[in-house]
Structure 1
Amino acid sequence: MEVSKAIQRAFAPTGRLRASINLGNPLLAHRAESGEAAGVSVDLAHALAQRLCVELELVVVDAAGKSVDVIANEEADIGFFAIDPKRGAATTFTEPYLLIEGYYLVRDDSPVHANADVDLPGTRVVVGKGSAYDLYLTRELKHAQIIRSPTSPTVVKTFLEEDLDVAAGVRQQLEMDIRGMEGLRLLDERFMVIRQAMGVPKSRGETAGNFLADFVEEMKRSGKVAEALRAHGVNGAEVAPAIRR
C-alpha cells in the first residue's frame, strides 16, 4: 500500500497517529504487567503507524462510549469499535476484522431460559453504557427495561449488587467476570454478533476511509489479525472473512 503525504496528513495531522484504545473490552485491549496498553487493537495500531511511517500515540479509555467520543471530538485519529448505525454519524468504519458474540447472563433459578424470554415487561437488563450491545438492545428490546452500568467490565457487579434480572455482554467478558462464582448461567444462544472494525473521523475524507479499509483487509488476509489473537491468548473471537476490494 503506497502512502502519500496527503494520507499521512489525513491520519496524523499532529505528526503522530493517535489511536483510541478501549480497555473496556478485554478481548481487544488490556493493561500489560508494565502498565502499558496491549492487545489486538494495540498491535493493529502499531502496524498502521508503521505503514504510515509516523509515531504512534495511544489514547486510552475505559469504555466504548468514551472511545466513540474521542473520535467524534477528533482527539484521536483512529479507533476500534463495534459497527453500529448510531456511531456512523461522525466515523467512517471499515469492514469488521473480528466477530465476537453477545450473550445474556442470569441466575440459575431465573425463569429466563431463552433469548425470547428476556423481552418481557418487568425484566431489567443491565448493559455497559454506550457499548455496541447497549445500542443494539436499545433498538431491539420493546418491553424489558434497560439499566446502564458505567462500563462493560462493571456489568456483572451491577447485576449482582442491584439484584437485576439479566446481564448482557460479550460472552468472554461475562465468563471471565463470573469465574469461581456459583448460581449463575449463560443462556445457550447469542443475541447478537458484534462486528469489530476500525474507524477514522469522516472529516478526514473518503480517501482516508478507503486506505484504512484496504489496510484492514490486508491484515486479515495476511494472517496478522489471527497472529495477534494467538499472541494475546484471545479465545472465542474469530477473524472476520476478508473482502476483496
Structure 2
Amino acid sequence: MKPDPSVIQAFTPAGKLRASINLGNPILAGKDASGAAVGVSVDLARAFAAALGVELELVVFDAAGKSVQAVSEERADFGFFAVDPLRGETIEFTEPYVLIEGYYMVRDASPIRHNGDVDQSQNRVAVGKGSAYDLFLTRELKHAQIVRAPTSPTVVQTFLDESLEVAAGVKQQLESDARKASGLRLLDERFMVIRQAMGVPKSRGAAAAHALHAFVEEMKASGFVAEALERHGIVGATVAPAA
C-alpha cells in the first residue's frame, strides 16, 4: 500500500490516526494483564497506521454503539464494525474481513427449541445496546420484546437478573458466559452472520474509503487476518472471502 498525501490528510485531521476500538466483542478486542487493548482489531489498526506512516491513538470503548458514535461524530478516524444499513448512513464500510455468527441462548428448561420459536409475544430477548444484533433484531422481530443490556458482555447477566426468556449475541461471548452459569444452552442454529468490517466517516471522501477498502483486501489476502485470529486464540470466526 503506497499512501497518497491527500489520503493521509483525510485520515489524520487531528494530527494522528485515531482508531475506535470496541472491547464489547471479544472476537475483536480485549484487555491484557496490564489493561491495554489487544486483539485482531488492534493489530489491524497498528498495521494501517504503519501503512500510512503515521502515529496511532487507540480510542477505546466498552460497547459497539459508543464505538460507532465516535466515528460518526469524527472523534475517531476509523473503526471496526458490523456492517449495518443504519450505521451506513454516516460510515463508509469496507468489505468484511471477518464473519461472526449471532446465536440465541435460553435456559435448559425453556420450551424454545428453534429460532422460529423466539419471535413470540411472551418472549423477552436480551441484546447489547447498539450492537449489530440489536439493530438486526429490532428490524426482524415483530412480536418478541427486546430488552437492551448496557453492553454486549452484560447481556447474559441481564438475561439472568431480569429472568428473561432469551439472550442474543455473538456465539463465542454466549458460550463463554454459559460456562460460568449452569442450566443454559444455545439454540442449534445461528440467526444471523455478522459481517465485521472497517469503516471511515463518509465525510472523509471516496479516496479515503478506497484506501481502507484496499487495505482490508490486502490484509485478508496476505494471511494477516487469519494469523491474527490464530495468535489471539479466536475460534468460531472465519476470514471473510475476497471482495
Name the structure 2 match of 1:187.
187
Query: Which ranges of structure 1 fall in alignment gaps of 5 or more residues?
Result: none
Name the structure 1 match of 2:222.
222
Q: Contact 2:178–2:185 (CA<8 Å) still a contact in 1? A: no
Name the structure 2 match of 1:12.
12
Which amino acid is 2:205 matched to?
G
Name the structure 1 match of 2:207.
207
Name the structure 1 match of 2:64.
64
SS class of match (2:158): helix
SS class of match (2:33): coil
Name the structure 2 match of 1:123.
123
Distance in 2 (CA, whole Å) between partners of 1:226 and 1:21 is 19
Q: 1:14, CA displacement in angstroms?
A: 1.6
Report % sequence identity.
68
Q: How does 1:94-243 map to 2 (within 5 A)?
A: 94-243=94-243
Deviation per CA, 1:198-226, whole angstroms, max 9, x where unpaired? 00000000110011001000000000000
Distance in 2 (CA, whole Å) between partners of 1:197 and 1:236 is 17
Q: Contact 2:128–2:154 (CA<8 Å) still a contact in 1? A: yes
Distance in 2 (CA, whole Å) between partners of 1:216 and 1:72 is 20
Superposition RMSD in Å: 0.6
Q: 1:30, CA displacement in angstroms?
A: 0.3
Which amino acid is 2:95 matched to?
E
Which amino acid is 1:201 matched to?
P
Name the structure 2 match of 1:43.
43
Which amino acid is 1:74 matched to?
E
Q: Under a length normalisation based on structure 1, what TM-score does the superposition of the two structures give? A: 0.98
Which amino acid is 2:198 matched to?
M
Q: 1:34, CA displacement in angstroms?
A: 1.8
Distance in 2 (CA, whole Å) between partners of 1:140 and 1:87 is 17
Name the structure 1 match of 2:78.
78
Which amino acid is 1:188 matched to?
D
SS class of match (1:85): coil
Distance in 2 (CA, whole Å) between partners of 1:119 and 1:78 is 35
Which amino acid is 1:80 matched to?
F
SS class of match (2:25): coil
Q: Contact 2:79–2:200 (CA<8 Å) still a contact in 1? A: yes
Distance in 1 (CA, whole Å) between partners of 2:34 and 2:162 is 34
Query: Which ranges of structure 2 fall in alignment gaps of 5 or more residues?
Result: none
Which amino acid is 2:134 matched to?
D
Distance in 2 (CA, whole Å) between partners of 1:201 and 1:142 is 31
SS class of match (2:80): strand
Which amino acid is 2:125 matched to?
V
Aligned length: 243
Q: 1:181, CA displacement in angstroms?
A: 2.2
